[in-house]
Amino acid sequence: MNTIQIILISLVAIIHIYIVYLEMVVWTSEKAMKAFAIKTKEFAEETKGMAANQGLYNGFIVAGLIWSLIAVKVDVAIFFLSCVAIAGLYGAYSIKIIRILYIQTIPATLGIISLLIL
């Protein structure tokens, strides 16, 4: 892997570390509520367990991306970046929050493209 590929994979991993933090640690905070467009504190409290579960899954994505960097596994990186890109597309479609495309899908897609053409 070259420097650009490592930076892009690392960027996606860092973004997801932050998402894990929001979902598992501070879900009911104003910061997390704003990030995920949660309107009421009550809803945040009601969905705290679900968010922690989502956070755990995002943690697995982080683990896979870090594994791909440590083991220098391009196929592993492509798999986990594809998971992120697809989840971002689905999230933007299903919950109608377009910024998911910019936060998840675009960085992951750029990472995939860099691995395929560089």
Question: Model confidence over 4-52: pLDDT tens digits?
Answer: 999 999 999 999 999 999 999 999 999 999 999 999 999 999 999 999 9
- What percent of the chain has a predicted confidence (pLDDT) above 90? 94
The count of domains in the chain is: 1
Q: Predicted confidence band at 98 (pLDDT cuts at 50, 70, 90)?
A: confident
Q: What is the per-residue pLDDT for 95?
A: 85
Q: Is the pLDDT of residue 84 over 90?
A: yes
Residue pair 15/108 in contact (Cβ under 8 Å)? The answer is no
**Residue 93 is part of which domain span?**
3-117
